[in-house]
Amino acid sequence: MEKKPFYITTPIYYPSDRLHIGHAYTTTIADAAARYKRLAGSEVLFLTGSDEHGQKIQRKAAEQNVAPIAYVDKIVDSFQQLWEKLNISHDDFIRTTQQRHHDVVQAIFQKIYDKGDIYKAAYEGWYCTPCETFWMERQVVEGKCPDCGRPVEIVQEESYFFRMSKYQDRLLAHIESNPDFIQPVSRRNEMLNFIKGGLEDLCVSRTTFDWGIPVPFDTKHVVYVWFDALTNYITAAGYLDDREKFAKFWPADIHLVGKEIVRFHSIIWPIILMALDLEIPSKVYGHGWLIMEGDKMSKSKGNVIDPVALIEEFGPDAIRYFLLREINLGMDGNFSREALINRINADLANDLGNLLHRTLNMIGRFNGGVIKAAGDVEEVDHQLAQLVQNTVIQYEKFMDVMDINAAIKVVWALISRTNKYIDETAPWALAKDEAKHSRLNTVLYNLAETLRIIAVLITPFMPVTGPKIWRQLGLNTDFKAVTLEDIKGWGKLSAGIVVSKPEPIFPRIEDKVVEAAA
């Protein structure tokens, strides 16, 4: 059956500074979801990118005495290198300074203006430059931004306004009749309360700086950076230049974002789309924050962890695994070096690494490296095969709703059970007795078959390790062509394959590293 195409996005990050592990967190989740959908047979559009305009970037560039574009070019380059190191499989990387995006922003601004939903008026109010957000008097807390706590500035300019208020009731009705649109439910309730408090028209142009996309019919104005940024999601889907692609992928299946920008994605963005008579994305998921010592990790607080250094030290798969396993998607989670090392040692070196090592080692020693056809079967073998197939079903169920954490847990429960299966069946004892070699062949076959299936299941999380296990099992078929269908139904592994010598996939990290960090 032809699967539905799948369109997933991350926020487009500000190239005001290099990215930290918080950004890598969002992008890794989106990557795991995109890889899973490809494995399940869907055509996928996975988009990430950079949000390059606005006052904050212009100021940063000025501080360094360089043109804004030169400033962002360098940082965007570091984004792309990071995604490569982390094995992010995005299909497109959008930069808001690209011509394709410039054209779309101007076209939609004009369209909404022509329709009468954008109008000119005087603006006087508060602005938080780090968040690029306008605030009303009643929202400002003692001269500070209610989101980030930094001082706001007064801005007075003639601006264009977007008639958000006109769409308030329609948006409310949409959220109420689509319970899954904003997730998790805590964010949904927050947004419902926000809208019920009354939506004001939004200021969508600025005149006090020029690093932005000019308003097409009044070029001393540049388009407000959030109006510009949100539009990236339709630019990359081909809104203006590829009707066929747009029909295939729009509306997006999921905008994955951090919880602090759910408001922009679930209020401003749907209203822009309503004004354009376009469909609203199926889901906005606001995940929690990575916390360091009780505080949100952020560039301005200076408590950030550099993902590049971590990848160099531990490898991309260990970092990806940790981010996906340790933190529950909707909740905040602590990042600590100690927790990372504990996960690597317990889950990767011990559970997964040992299972692979023991299996290959025994096939090598007892059967000359050949995976022989299964012989005598006992109840314990049926149980293992049943568990493997149930795991695949559970895994799909969880991955389909992006409960990556739960999907990982079921795979690791299987890994644990399979290690126990080795202890219970004691292949070393079977090997000693000629009469039991048929049993031995069954046990070793079952281990190899289970590992083959595990290799596929873990690939969305660990795209280096999955294929490594595949190759060590002696499978020469193109791993990229493998789909979930190949692991449904027990016993698809052919007998007669020659496995490699075991190579450690995750060496244990010695405790002294943790001690040194403490």
Annotated binding site for Zn(2+): 128, 131, 145, 148
Instruction: Report whether the peptide linkage leading into residue 184 is cis, meaning its omega lies within 30 degrees of zero.
Output: yes
Q: Indicate the residue among 113 and 226 with the shorter CB distance to ligand ME8.
A: 226
CB of 59 or CB of 296, closer to ligand ME8? 296
Q: In this chain, which stretch among 62-70, 114-122, 170-178, 254-262 interacts with ligand ME8, using CB under 6 A?
A: 254-262
Instruction: Output the smallest distance, CB 28 to ligand ME8, in A.
Output: 10
Decide: 95 and 101 in contact? Cβ < 8 Å. yes
And the tokens for 329?
A: 């998607």
**Which residues lie below 8 Å from residue 323, measured CB to CB, with a gap of 6+?**
21, 24, 25, 28, 29
Of the candidate residues 296, 436, 437, 508, the single one contacting ligand ME8 (CB under 6 A) = 296
Question: Which residue in 30, 261, 352, 362 binds ligand ME8 (CB under 6 A)?
Answer: 261
Stretch that binds ligand ME8, among 111-119, 288-296, 315-323, 449-457 (CB under 6 A): 288-296
Helices 68-85 and 307-314, axial angle in degrees (round to 10): 30
User: How far apart (Å, rounded) are the C-alpha atoms in residues 446 and 387?
Assistant: 12
Q: Does 30 bind ligand ME8 (CB under 6 A)?
A: no
Distance of CA 385 to the CA centre of its chain: 31
Which stretch, 8-16, 154-162, 373-381, 383-391, contacts ligand ME8 (CB under 6 A)?
8-16
Hey, which residues does 126 pair with through a beta bridge? 135, 154
Query: Distance (Å, rounded) from C-alpha 48 to C-alpha 35?
Result: 14
* Closer CB to ligand ME8, 147 or 396, in the complex: 147
26 in contact with ligand ME8 (CB under 6 A):
yes
77-85, 294-302, 377-385, 440-448 -> range binding ligand ME8 (CB under 6 A): 294-302
Determine if 33 is a binding residue for ligand ME8 (CB under 6 A): no
Query: Residue 257 or 422: which CB sits closer to ligand ME8?
Result: 257
What's the min distance (Å) between Cβ of 323 and ligand ME8? 9
HEC assignment per residue over 377-413 = CCHHHHHHHHHHHHHHHHHHHHHHCCCHHHHHHHHHH
8 Å CB contact between 352 and 506: yes
Q: Residue 393 Cβ, how far from ligand ME8 at the closest point, in Å?
A: 31
Binding window for ligand ME8 (CB under 6 A); candidates: 164-172, 293-301, 378-386, 503-511: 293-301
CA distance 37 to 21: 24
Q: Is 11 in the site for ligand ME8 (CB under 6 A)?
A: yes
CA-to-CA separations, 365 to 431, 433, 440, 499, in angstroms, rounded: 9, 14, 12, 11
Nearer Cβ to ligand ME8, position 141 or 331?
A: 331
Segment interacting with ligand ME8, rule: CB under 6 A, options 38-46, 255-263, 420-428, 448-456: 255-263
Identified binder of ligand ME8 from the candidate list 229, 275, 280, 371, rule CB under 6 A: 229
Q: Does 230 bind ligand ME8 (CB under 6 A)?
A: yes
Q: How far is the CB of 170 from ligand ME8 (least distance, A)?
A: 22
Q: In what order do the strands lie in the sheet with 218-223?
A: 205-206, 218-223, 214-215
Separation CA 254–CA 280 (nearest Å): 10
**Min separation Cβ 399 and ligand ME8, Å:** 20
> Under rule CB under 6 A, how many of the chain's residues touch ligand ME8?
20
| Min dist. Cβ of residue 290 to ligand ME8 (A) | 4
Residues 6+ apart with CB under 8 A from 73: none
Q: Which residues pair with 133 in a beta bridge?
A: 128
Q: Give the residue numbers of the binding site.
A: 128, 131, 145, 148
Binding-residue pattern over the window 46 to 85 for ligand ME8, x denoting contact by CB under 6 A: -----x----------------------------------
Q: What are the b/e assignments for 35-74, b being 16+ CB within 10 Å?
A: bbbbbbebebbbbbbbbbbbbbbbebbeeeeeebeebbee
Residues 231/101, Cβ–Cβ less than 8 Å: yes
By the rule CB under 6 A, 195 interacts with ligand ME8? no
Cα–Cα dist 61/16, whole Å: 9
Which tokens in the block code for residue 498? 């020659």
- Cβ-contact 466, 459 below 8 angstroms: yes
Shortest approach of ligand ME8 to residue 232 CB, angstroms? 6
**Minimum CB distance to ligand ME8 smaller for 308 or for 370:** 308
Rank residues 230 and 505 by Cβ distance to ligand ME8 and give the closer one.
230
List interacting residues with ligand ME8 (CB under 6 A). Answer: 11-14, 22-23, 25-26, 51, 229-230, 257-258, 260-261, 289-290, 296-298
